[in-house]
Protein backbone atom coordinates (compact mmCIF):
# COMPACT_ATOMS: atom_id res chain seq x y z
CA UNK A 1 0.00 0.00 0.00
CA UNK A 2 1.16 3.49 -0.76
CA UNK A 3 2.12 5.38 2.37
CA UNK A 4 -0.13 3.24 4.58
CA UNK A 5 -3.30 4.36 2.76
CA UNK A 6 -5.49 1.74 1.09
CA UNK A 7 -6.17 3.08 -2.39
CA UNK A 8 -9.28 1.72 -4.06
CA UNK A 9 -10.92 1.78 -7.48
CA UNK A 10 -14.71 1.42 -7.42
CA UNK A 11 -15.97 -0.06 -10.71
CA UNK A 12 -19.72 0.21 -11.42
CA UNK A 13 -19.79 2.56 -8.44
CA UNK A 14 -23.44 3.56 -8.70
CA UNK A 15 -24.33 6.01 -5.95
CA UNK A 16 -21.18 5.12 -3.98
CA UNK A 17 -22.29 2.80 -1.20
CA UNK A 18 -19.09 0.73 -1.44
CA UNK A 19 -17.22 3.92 -0.59
CA UNK A 20 -19.72 4.66 2.18
CA UNK A 21 -18.98 1.21 3.61
CA UNK A 22 -15.20 1.18 3.35
CA UNK A 23 -14.08 4.77 3.85
CA UNK A 24 -14.52 4.63 7.67
CA UNK A 25 -12.12 1.64 7.62
CA UNK A 26 -9.34 3.70 6.08
CA UNK A 27 -10.00 3.06 2.38
CA UNK A 28 -9.52 5.99 0.00
CA UNK A 29 -11.39 5.77 -3.30
CA UNK A 30 -9.06 7.31 -5.90
CA UNK A 31 -11.00 6.28 -9.01
CA UNK A 32 -14.64 5.38 -9.67
CA UNK A 33 -16.91 4.96 -12.65
CA UNK A 34 -20.49 4.45 -13.70
CA UNK A 35 -22.38 4.97 -16.92
CA UNK A 36 -25.38 6.76 -15.34
CA UNK A 37 -25.21 10.53 -14.88
CA UNK A 38 -27.98 10.42 -12.25
CA UNK A 39 -25.92 8.06 -10.11
CA UNK A 40 -22.90 10.34 -10.38
CA UNK A 41 -25.06 13.26 -9.29
CA UNK A 42 -26.12 11.37 -6.15
CA UNK A 43 -22.51 10.32 -5.50
CA UNK A 44 -21.22 13.88 -5.84
CA UNK A 45 -23.92 15.20 -3.51
CA UNK A 46 -22.41 12.99 -0.81
CA UNK A 47 -18.77 13.12 -1.91
CA UNK A 48 -17.89 16.54 -3.35
CA UNK A 49 -14.45 15.30 -4.46
CA UNK A 50 -16.19 13.12 -7.08
CA UNK A 51 -15.32 15.60 -9.82
CA UNK A 52 -11.66 14.68 -9.34
CA UNK A 53 -11.93 10.91 -9.70
CA UNK A 54 -15.42 9.74 -10.79
CA UNK A 55 -15.70 9.06 -14.53
CA UNK A 56 -19.18 8.91 -16.07
CA UNK A 57 -18.26 6.60 -18.91
CA UNK A 58 -19.06 3.25 -20.48
CA UNK A 59 -16.51 0.84 -19.04
CA UNK A 60 -15.81 -0.41 -22.57
CA UNK A 61 -14.15 2.95 -23.19
CA UNK A 62 -11.89 2.71 -20.13
CA UNK A 63 -8.27 1.60 -20.49
CA UNK A 64 -5.99 0.45 -17.71
CA UNK A 65 -3.81 3.49 -18.36
CA UNK A 66 -6.75 5.73 -17.37
CA UNK A 67 -6.52 4.60 -13.76
CA UNK A 68 -4.13 6.18 -11.26
CA UNK A 69 -1.15 4.10 -10.12
CA UNK A 70 -0.90 1.95 -7.02
CA UNK A 71 -4.43 0.60 -6.63
CA UNK A 72 -4.58 -1.78 -3.66
CA UNK A 73 -8.24 -2.78 -3.88
CA UNK A 74 -10.62 -2.95 -6.84
CA UNK A 75 -14.34 -3.47 -6.25
CA UNK A 76 -16.82 -4.45 -8.94
CA UNK A 77 -20.61 -4.58 -8.58
CA UNK A 78 -21.12 -5.42 -12.23
CA UNK A 79 -24.68 -5.62 -13.60
CA UNK A 80 -26.79 -8.57 -12.45
CA UNK A 81 -29.68 -8.41 -14.92
CA UNK A 82 -28.41 -11.24 -17.16
CA UNK A 83 -27.57 -13.42 -14.13
CA UNK A 84 -30.61 -12.88 -11.93
CA UNK A 85 -33.28 -15.56 -11.72
CA UNK A 86 -35.73 -12.71 -12.33
CA UNK A 87 -33.81 -11.59 -15.41
CA UNK A 88 -33.23 -12.99 -18.88
CA UNK A 89 -30.54 -15.54 -17.85
CA UNK A 90 -28.25 -14.68 -20.77
CA UNK A 91 -25.44 -14.87 -18.24
CA UNK A 92 -22.00 -13.53 -19.07
CA UNK A 93 -22.99 -13.61 -22.74
CA UNK A 94 -25.47 -10.82 -22.01
CA UNK A 95 -24.60 -7.25 -22.87
CA UNK A 96 -24.85 -6.10 -19.24
CA UNK A 97 -23.52 -8.89 -17.01
CA UNK A 98 -20.88 -9.51 -19.68
CA UNK A 99 -19.28 -6.30 -18.42
CA UNK A 100 -17.42 -8.61 -16.03
CA UNK A 101 -14.99 -9.23 -18.86
CA UNK A 102 -14.42 -5.49 -19.29
CA UNK A 103 -13.48 -5.30 -15.62
CA UNK A 104 -11.11 -8.24 -16.14
CA UNK A 105 -9.67 -6.61 -19.26
CA UNK A 106 -8.74 -3.49 -17.31
CA UNK A 107 -7.19 -5.55 -14.52
CA UNK A 108 -5.16 -7.46 -17.08
CA UNK A 109 -3.78 -4.25 -18.56
CA UNK A 110 -2.63 -2.73 -15.27
CA UNK A 111 1.11 -2.60 -14.73
CA UNK A 112 0.57 -3.37 -11.05
CA UNK A 113 -2.67 -5.16 -10.33
CA UNK A 114 -4.59 -4.63 -7.08
CA UNK A 115 -3.62 -6.98 -4.29
CA UNK A 116 -7.30 -7.64 -3.60
CA UNK A 117 -10.45 -7.58 -5.71
CA UNK A 118 -14.04 -7.79 -4.45
CA UNK A 119 -16.88 -8.70 -6.81
CA UNK A 120 -20.56 -8.63 -5.84
CA UNK A 121 -23.54 -10.15 -7.62
CA UNK A 122 -26.70 -12.21 -7.18
CA UNK A 123 -26.77 -15.90 -6.26
CA UNK A 124 -27.93 -16.64 -9.80
CA UNK A 125 -24.34 -16.11 -10.92
CA UNK A 126 -23.49 -19.50 -9.42
CA UNK A 127 -26.07 -21.39 -11.52
CA UNK A 128 -26.09 -19.33 -14.73
CA UNK A 129 -25.66 -21.61 -17.76
CA UNK A 130 -25.42 -24.62 -15.48
CA UNK A 131 -22.46 -23.17 -13.59
CA UNK A 132 -20.40 -22.47 -16.71
CA UNK A 133 -20.52 -18.70 -16.28
CA UNK A 134 -18.99 -18.65 -12.84
CA UNK A 135 -16.40 -21.15 -14.02
CA UNK A 136 -15.43 -18.75 -16.81
CA UNK A 137 -15.11 -15.93 -14.28
CA UNK A 138 -13.05 -18.06 -11.89
CA UNK A 139 -10.70 -19.17 -14.66
CA UNK A 140 -10.22 -15.60 -15.87
CA UNK A 141 -9.46 -14.28 -12.41
CA UNK A 142 -7.08 -17.18 -11.79
CA UNK A 143 -5.27 -16.34 -15.03
CA UNK A 144 -4.78 -12.88 -13.57
CA UNK A 145 -2.98 -14.52 -10.62
CA UNK A 146 -5.77 -14.28 -8.06
CA UNK A 147 -6.64 -16.94 -5.52
CA UNK A 148 -10.39 -16.97 -4.93
CA UNK A 149 -12.85 -17.25 -2.08
CA UNK A 150 -16.66 -17.05 -2.19
CA UNK A 151 -19.04 -15.70 0.43
CA UNK A 152 -22.84 -15.68 0.49
CA UNK A 153 -24.41 -13.10 2.79
CA UNK A 154 -28.03 -12.08 3.17
CA UNK A 155 -28.38 -8.45 4.23
CA UNK A 156 -31.09 -9.48 6.72
CA UNK A 157 -28.25 -10.17 9.16
CA UNK A 158 -27.66 -6.42 9.29
CA UNK A 159 -30.76 -4.57 8.07
CA UNK A 160 -34.46 -5.51 7.87
CA UNK A 161 -34.25 -6.46 4.20
CA UNK A 162 -33.89 -9.90 2.64
CA UNK A 163 -31.15 -9.33 0.06
CA UNK A 164 -28.99 -12.41 -0.59
CA UNK A 165 -25.79 -11.68 -2.48
CA UNK A 166 -22.62 -13.54 -3.30
CA UNK A 167 -19.16 -12.02 -3.07
CA UNK A 168 -15.99 -13.22 -4.74
CA UNK A 169 -12.77 -12.18 -3.03
CA UNK A 170 -9.61 -12.45 -5.08
CA UNK A 171 -6.18 -12.12 -3.46
CA UNK A 172 -2.95 -11.98 -5.45
CA UNK A 173 -1.45 -15.44 -5.15
CA UNK A 174 1.82 -14.06 -3.83
CA UNK A 175 -0.05 -11.97 -1.21
CA UNK A 176 -2.09 -14.69 0.48
CA UNK A 177 -1.84 -14.11 4.25
CA UNK A 178 -0.55 -16.84 6.52
CA UNK A 179 -4.02 -17.11 8.06
CA UNK A 180 -5.54 -18.35 4.78
CA UNK A 181 -6.44 -22.01 4.24
CA UNK A 182 -6.22 -24.13 1.13
CA UNK A 183 -8.95 -26.73 0.62
CA UNK A 184 -12.70 -26.89 0.99
CA UNK A 185 -14.17 -24.88 3.88
CA UNK A 186 -16.71 -26.40 6.23
CA UNK A 187 -20.26 -25.10 5.70
CA UNK A 188 -21.04 -21.99 7.74
CA UNK A 189 -23.41 -19.05 7.69
CA UNK A 190 -21.17 -17.20 5.20
CA UNK A 191 -20.34 -20.32 3.19
CA UNK A 192 -23.47 -22.47 2.93
CA UNK A 193 -23.22 -25.90 1.24
CA UNK A 194 -23.65 -24.52 -2.29
CA UNK A 195 -20.65 -22.25 -1.72
CA UNK A 196 -18.48 -25.06 -0.35
CA UNK A 197 -19.52 -27.06 -3.43
CA UNK A 198 -18.11 -24.25 -5.60
CA UNK A 199 -14.83 -24.51 -3.74
CA UNK A 200 -14.73 -28.27 -4.23
CA UNK A 201 -15.75 -28.15 -7.90
CA UNK A 202 -13.24 -25.52 -8.95
CA UNK A 203 -10.25 -26.22 -6.70
CA UNK A 204 -8.67 -28.47 -9.35
CA UNK A 205 -8.70 -25.80 -12.07
CA UNK A 206 -8.37 -22.57 -10.06
CA UNK A 207 -6.49 -21.42 -7.00
CA UNK A 208 -9.02 -21.37 -4.15
CA UNK A 209 -8.56 -20.39 -0.52
CA UNK A 210 -10.66 -19.38 2.46
CA UNK A 211 -10.25 -17.36 5.63
CA UNK A 212 -11.86 -17.98 9.00
CA UNK A 213 -14.65 -15.50 9.65
CA UNK A 214 -16.84 -14.78 12.68
CA UNK A 215 -20.55 -15.65 12.70
CA UNK A 216 -22.91 -13.16 11.14
CA UNK A 217 -25.00 -11.03 13.52
CA UNK A 218 -28.65 -11.83 14.13
CA UNK A 219 -30.13 -8.76 12.45
CA UNK A 220 -33.34 -6.76 13.09
CA UNK A 221 -36.67 -8.53 12.91
CA UNK A 222 -39.04 -5.74 11.88
CA UNK A 223 -39.31 -2.44 10.04
CA UNK A 224 -39.84 -0.24 13.10
CA UNK A 225 -36.43 1.41 12.77
CA UNK A 226 -36.94 2.09 9.07
CA UNK A 227 -40.40 3.67 8.84
CA UNK A 228 -40.48 7.33 7.89
CA UNK A 229 -43.07 9.02 10.11
CA UNK A 230 -42.77 12.46 8.50
CA UNK A 231 -44.38 11.73 5.16
CA UNK A 232 -47.10 14.09 3.88
CA UNK A 233 -50.66 12.97 4.60
CA UNK A 234 -51.41 12.64 0.90
CA UNK A 235 -48.66 10.05 0.52
CA UNK A 236 -51.05 7.50 2.03
CA UNK A 237 -53.38 5.90 -0.50
CA UNK A 238 -57.04 6.88 -0.59
CA UNK A 239 -59.83 4.50 0.43
CA UNK A 240 -60.51 3.33 -3.12
CA UNK A 241 -56.92 2.36 -3.72
CA UNK A 242 -56.71 0.59 -0.35
CA UNK A 243 -59.89 -1.34 -1.19
CA UNK A 244 -58.38 -2.37 -4.53
CA UNK A 245 -55.24 -3.55 -2.70
CA UNK A 246 -57.25 -5.64 -0.25
CA UNK A 247 -59.46 -6.98 -3.04
CA UNK A 248 -56.44 -8.32 -4.92
CA UNK A 249 -55.22 -10.42 -2.00
CA UNK A 250 -55.50 -14.19 -2.22
CA UNK A 251 -57.42 -16.00 0.55
CA UNK A 252 -54.15 -16.83 2.31
CA UNK A 253 -52.95 -13.26 1.99
CA UNK A 254 -56.31 -11.89 3.15
CA UNK A 255 -56.15 -14.06 6.27
CA UNK A 256 -52.62 -12.77 7.03
CA UNK A 257 -53.77 -9.18 6.45
CA UNK A 258 -56.78 -9.49 8.76
CA UNK A 259 -54.79 -11.18 11.54
CA UNK A 260 -52.32 -8.29 11.55
CA UNK A 261 -55.13 -5.73 11.45
CA UNK A 262 -56.78 -7.29 14.51
CA UNK A 263 -53.62 -7.32 16.66
CA UNK A 264 -53.41 -5.00 19.67
CA UNK A 265 -50.25 -3.36 18.35
CA UNK A 266 -49.37 -1.39 15.24
CA UNK A 267 -47.09 -3.30 12.90
CA UNK A 268 -45.66 -2.73 9.46
CA UNK A 269 -45.33 -5.06 6.49
CA UNK A 270 -43.82 -4.60 3.08
CA UNK A 271 -45.96 -5.58 0.12
CA UNK A 272 -45.20 -6.12 -3.53
CA UNK A 273 -47.10 -6.95 -6.67
CA UNK A 274 -46.89 -10.38 -8.23
CA UNK A 275 -48.44 -11.84 -11.36
CA UNK A 276 -50.13 -15.15 -10.59
CA UNK A 277 -51.66 -17.03 -13.52
CA UNK A 278 -51.72 -13.82 -15.52
CA UNK A 279 -53.39 -11.78 -12.77
CA UNK A 280 -51.62 -8.92 -10.95
CA UNK A 281 -52.09 -9.14 -7.20
CA UNK A 282 -50.56 -7.81 -4.02
CA UNK A 283 -48.75 -9.97 -1.49
CA UNK A 284 -47.59 -9.26 2.06
CA UNK A 285 -44.30 -10.71 3.22
CA UNK A 286 -44.74 -13.51 5.69
CA UNK A 287 -42.08 -12.00 7.98
CA UNK A 288 -41.84 -8.41 9.17
CA UNK A 289 -38.87 -7.29 7.06
CA UNK A 290 -38.69 -5.92 3.53
CA UNK A 291 -38.20 -7.94 0.42
CA UNK A 292 -35.17 -7.35 -1.77
CA UNK A 293 -35.15 -3.79 -3.07
CA UNK A 294 -34.92 -3.61 -6.84
CA UNK A 295 -34.44 -0.98 -9.47
CA UNK A 296 -37.70 0.81 -10.18
CA UNK A 297 -39.21 -0.27 -13.43
CA UNK A 298 -42.68 -1.63 -12.84
CA UNK A 299 -44.01 -5.03 -11.80
CA UNK A 300 -42.77 -6.02 -8.36
CA UNK A 301 -39.92 -3.52 -8.39
CA UNK A 302 -41.47 -0.99 -5.98
CA UNK A 303 -42.48 -2.00 -2.49
CA UNK A 304 -45.39 -0.60 -0.54
CA UNK A 305 -45.53 -0.11 3.20
CA UNK A 306 -48.65 -1.40 4.99
CA UNK A 307 -49.57 -0.17 8.47
CA UNK A 308 -51.88 -2.54 10.35
CA UNK A 309 -53.17 -3.10 13.88
CA UNK A 310 -55.43 -1.88 16.69
CA UNK A 311 -58.43 -2.80 14.48
CA UNK A 312 -57.98 0.50 12.69
CA UNK A 313 -58.44 1.15 9.02
CA UNK A 314 -55.25 0.01 7.28
CA UNK A 315 -52.91 2.60 5.78
CA UNK A 316 -50.82 1.91 2.68
CA UNK A 317 -48.29 3.94 0.70
CA UNK A 318 -45.17 3.51 -1.38
CA UNK A 319 -41.91 3.28 0.52
CA UNK A 320 -39.93 6.52 0.50
CA UNK A 321 -36.32 7.11 -0.60
CA UNK A 322 -35.43 7.66 3.07
CA UNK A 323 -36.79 4.21 3.92
CA UNK A 324 -34.85 2.69 1.03
CA UNK A 325 -31.70 4.40 2.32
CA UNK A 326 -32.18 2.93 5.80
CA UNK A 327 -32.85 -0.52 4.33
CA UNK A 328 -29.50 -0.24 2.53
CA UNK A 329 -27.66 0.77 5.70
CA UNK A 330 -27.17 4.30 4.34
CA UNK A 331 -29.04 6.18 7.06
CA UNK A 332 -26.95 9.34 6.73
CA UNK A 333 -26.92 9.40 2.93
CA UNK A 334 -27.93 12.83 1.64
CA UNK A 335 -30.95 12.65 -0.67
CA UNK A 336 -30.55 15.98 -2.41
CA UNK A 337 -29.93 14.91 -6.00
CA UNK A 338 -32.32 13.43 -8.54
CA UNK A 339 -36.01 12.64 -8.56
CA UNK A 340 -37.54 10.25 -6.01
CA UNK A 341 -37.64 7.52 -8.68
CA UNK A 342 -33.95 8.06 -9.46
CA UNK A 343 -33.18 7.81 -5.76
CA UNK A 344 -35.16 4.56 -5.45
CA UNK A 345 -33.38 3.23 -8.55
CA UNK A 346 -29.98 4.12 -7.12
CA UNK A 347 -30.58 2.26 -3.87
CA UNK A 348 -32.20 -0.71 -5.59
CA UNK A 349 -29.05 -1.10 -7.68
CA UNK A 350 -26.56 -0.69 -4.80
CA UNK A 351 -24.81 -2.76 -2.14
CA UNK A 352 -25.85 -2.83 1.50
CA UNK A 353 -23.39 -0.70 3.44
CA UNK A 354 -23.30 -2.90 6.54
CA UNK A 355 -22.56 -6.07 4.55
CA UNK A 356 -19.62 -4.57 2.66
CA UNK A 357 -18.30 -2.95 5.83
CA UNK A 358 -18.45 -6.33 7.62
CA UNK A 359 -16.48 -7.93 4.77
CA UNK A 360 -14.04 -5.03 4.87
CA UNK A 361 -13.55 -5.22 8.61
CA UNK A 362 -13.17 -8.99 8.87
CA UNK A 363 -11.58 -9.84 5.53
CA UNK A 364 -10.32 -7.10 3.22
CA UNK A 365 -8.58 -4.82 5.71
CA UNK A 366 -6.80 -7.66 7.57
CA UNK A 367 -5.52 -9.06 4.25
CA UNK A 368 -4.32 -5.67 3.06
CA UNK A 369 -2.77 -4.96 6.45
CA UNK A 370 -0.95 -8.29 6.23
CA UNK A 371 0.31 -7.26 2.81
CA UNK A 372 1.56 -3.98 4.26
CA UNK A 373 3.36 -5.79 7.08
CA UNK A 374 5.00 -8.05 4.50
CA UNK A 375 6.24 -5.03 2.58
CA UNK A 376 7.69 -3.61 5.75
Q: Report yes or no on 327 lying in a domain.
A: no
Is there a single domain that holds both residue 361 and residue 310? no
Please compute the mean of the pLDDT values over residues 196-211 and round it to a whole number. 95
Where a domain ends, among 319, 338, 366? 319
Q: Which residues, 6 or more positions from 112, have their beta carbon under 8 angstroms from its beta carbon?
A: 69, 70, 71
Is there a single domain that holds both residue 295 and residue 155? no
- DSSP code per residue over 154-193: EGGGTSSB--EEEEEEEEEGGG--TT-B-SPPPP-SSS-H
Is there a single domain that holds both residue 366 and residue 305? no
Q: Report yes or no on 188 lying in a domain.
A: yes
Q: Report yes or no on 324 lying in a domain.
A: no
With cut-offs at 50, 70 and 90, classify the pLDDT of residue 30.
very high
Is there a single domain that holds both residue 83 and residue 184? yes
pLDDT at position 1 is: 47
pLDDT at position 284 is: 95
Q: What is the pLDDT of residues 56-68, one digit of tens each?
A: 999 999 999 999 9
Is there a single domain that holds both residue 23 and residue 131? yes
Q: Which of 8-22, 84-98, 162-176, 324-338 has the lowest mean pLDDT?
A: 84-98
The answer, yes or no, to whether residue 42 has pLDDT greater than 70, is yes
pLDDT at position 111 is: 94
Which residue range forms the structural domain that includes residue 294? 233-319
Is there a single domain that holds both residue 191 and residue 53? yes
pLDDT at position 299 is: 46
Please compute the mean of the pLDDT values over residues 29-53 and round it to a whole number. 96
Express as a percent the part of the chain with pLDDT over 70.
Answer: 94
Q: Which of 35-39, 51-55, 87-91 has the lowest mean pLDDT?
A: 87-91
Is there a single domain that holds both residue 46 and residue 179? yes
Q: Report yes or no on 77 lying in a domain.
A: yes
Give helix 100-109 / helix 132-143 axis angle, nearest 10°: 10
Q: Report yes or no on 228 lying in a domain.
A: no
Is there a single domain that holds both residue 29 and residue 90? yes
CA atoms within 13 A on the CB side of 184: 14
The answer, yes or no, to whether residue 282 has pLDDT greater than 60, is yes
Q: Which residues, 6 or more positions from 121, have their beta carbon under 8 angstroms from its beta carbon?
A: 77, 78, 80, 83, 97, 165, 166
Is there a single domain that holds both residue 33 and residue 158? yes
What's the domain count of the chain? Answer: 2
Q: Which CATH number do you get for residue 132?
A: 3.40.50.150
Amino acid sequence: MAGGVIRAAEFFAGIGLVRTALEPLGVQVVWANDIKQAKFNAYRANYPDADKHFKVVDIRKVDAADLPPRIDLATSSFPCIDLSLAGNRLGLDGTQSGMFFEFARILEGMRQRPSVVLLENVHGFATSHGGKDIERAFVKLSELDYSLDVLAIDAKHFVPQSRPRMFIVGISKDKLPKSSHIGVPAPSDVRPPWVTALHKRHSSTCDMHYLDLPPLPEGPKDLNGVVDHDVPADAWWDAGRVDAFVGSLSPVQRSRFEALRDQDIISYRSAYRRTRQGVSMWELRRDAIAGCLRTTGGGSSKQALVELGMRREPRIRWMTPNEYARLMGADSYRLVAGTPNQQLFGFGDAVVVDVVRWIGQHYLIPVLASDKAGEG
